[in-house]
């Protein structure tokens, strides 16, 4: 494992300790520095090089947006993670910091159990270390993993050169993380209003960012885009984005269920939770699953279960168009991807459902 360096700009002793334990738990020799203001952050960035910089959104000193811009100017390859309190309402601010160059935003875990919080932070740091190429993970297994149900996954479907699906899906399920908002906007805003199936999206982002993202996409899209609500039944021509901080499931008559059960792999919402619920739902017959840019392996187990129990066609975003080729890579290496496509090819394939045509936009 390569050495990686981390700078944490956070005044909270509790979260400093959790980040310290997370970093040293991955590599005990990793240099780790703590600061309590944006001015201290800039001073260190101008003198030292860091692979990862974690910044509390409420850090004192100069503005967060200008801080991110200055870090990217001095160290353009540094991975910047912005953290926020669960009660934050700074959705507009997060849009600005992402545009300024921040790589990801996450909500600070705030569970009663300290270890639950630590697990989430440790998994996030591990995913970032993998994404920047400083960590060589063990081989990732899905079907047949130790302690999990062994699944018999159907043989991979043949690659269709005409870029069409082998069946008409009755639902589209999408998972995305780092880099997902722009990828989702590219795909969703390119689709016609005649889409004959609903789309459900898991995007790993803070709760209030999800609200803003849904409103922005709804303004730009021919489809209706909204945050999923507990108890509603999904409808064709509508895009539902899972709310942040809770899990989203799919049940009878394609009814959405929202719950606050524990995170899966440090994630809530988790694509695995949605996909696995769809695999068990009698209302789902044929599913199109799309795995977009992002860190980690969320969605892989769920795809395996969908392929075991339903007709499921899985598309993963191509490495050259991903911000982070993590989630798609894991699915592809597990042998669960039926197609690897660029973003524009993904939207074109979706448009083939039910004989749709771009002229219907």
Q: Is 298 labeled as catalytic in the residue annotation? A: yes
Contact 194, 353 (CB under 8 A): no
Q: Which residues lie below 8 Å from residue 355, measured CB to CB, with a gap of 6+?
A: none
Q: DSSP class of residue 250?
A: E
145 is catalytic: no
Token pair of 182 as six digits: 């722009």
Contact between residue 334 and residue 145 where contact means Cβ atoms under 8 Å apart: no
Longest Cα–Cα distance in the chain: 59
Whether residue 320 contacts residue 162, with contact meaning beta carbons closer than 8 Å, is answered with: no
Neighbouring-strand partners of residue 60: 37
User: For residues 49 and 328, what is the distance between their CA atoms, to the nearest angstrom?
Assistant: 30
From the candidates 22, 38, 88, 177, give the one annotated as an active-site residue: 177
Is residue 204 part of the annotated active site? The answer reads: yes
Coil/strand/helix, residue 82: strand
With beta carbons less than 8 A apart as the criterion, state whether 38 and 65 touch.
no
Question: What does the alpha-carbon distance between residue 226 and residue 218 come to, in Å, rounded to a whole number?
Answer: 7
Closest alpha carbon to 287 in 198, 159, 155: 198
- Rounded-to-integer distance, Cα 140 and Cα 154, Å: 19
Q: Which of 298, 311, 318, 338 is catalytic?
A: 298
Annotated catalytic residue: which of 88, 204, 297, 338? 204
CA distances from residue 19 to 50, 60, 76, 203, 207 in whole angstroms, order as listed: 15, 19, 23, 23, 22
Q: Which residues are catalytic?
A: 177, 204, 298
């Amino acid at each position: 494992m390569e050495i990686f360096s981390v700078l944490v700009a956070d005044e909270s002793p509790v979260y400093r300790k959790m980040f310290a334990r997370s970093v040293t738990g991955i590599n005990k020799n990793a240099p780790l520095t703590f600061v309590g203001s944006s001015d201290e952050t800039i001073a260190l960035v101008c003198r030292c090089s860091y692979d990862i910089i974690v910044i509390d959104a409420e850090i004192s000193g100069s503005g967060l947006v200008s801080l991110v811009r200055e870090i990217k100017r001095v160290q353009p390859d540094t991975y910047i993670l912005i953290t926020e309190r669960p009660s934050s309402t700074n959705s507009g601010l997060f849009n600005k910091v992402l545009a300024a160059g921040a790589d990801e935003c996450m909500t600070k875990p705030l569970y009663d159990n300290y270890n639950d919080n630590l697990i989430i932070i440790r998994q996030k740091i591990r995913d970032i270390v993998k994404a920047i190429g400083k960590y060589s993970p063990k081989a990732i297994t899905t079907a047949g993993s130790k302690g999990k149900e062994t699944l018999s996954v159907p043989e991979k479907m043949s690659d269709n050169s005409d870029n069409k699906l082998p069946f008409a899906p009755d639902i589209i399920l999408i998972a995305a993380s780092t880099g997902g908002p722009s990828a989702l906007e590219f795909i969703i805003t390119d689709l016609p209003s005649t889409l004959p199936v609903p789309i459900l999206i898991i995007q790993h982002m803070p709760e209030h960012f999800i609200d803003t993202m849904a409103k922005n996409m709804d303004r730009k899209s021919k489809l209706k885009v909204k945050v999923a609500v507990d108890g509603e039944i999904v409808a064709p021509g509508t895009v539902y984005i899972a709310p942040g901080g809770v899990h989203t499931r799919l049940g009878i008559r394609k009814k959405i269920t929202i719950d606050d059960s524990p995170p899966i792999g440090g994630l809530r919402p988790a694509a695995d939770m949605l996909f696995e619920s769809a695999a068990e739902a009698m209302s789902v017959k044929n599913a199109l699953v799309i795995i977009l840019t992002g860190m980690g392996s969320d969605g892989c187990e769920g795809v395996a279960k969908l392929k075991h129990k339903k007709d499921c066609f899985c598309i993963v975003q191509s490495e050259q168009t991903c911000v982070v080729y993590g989630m798609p890579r894991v699915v592809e290496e597990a042998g669960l991807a039926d197609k690897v496509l660029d973003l524009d090819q993904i939207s074109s394939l979706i448009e083939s459902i039910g004989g749709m045509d771009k002229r219907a936009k």
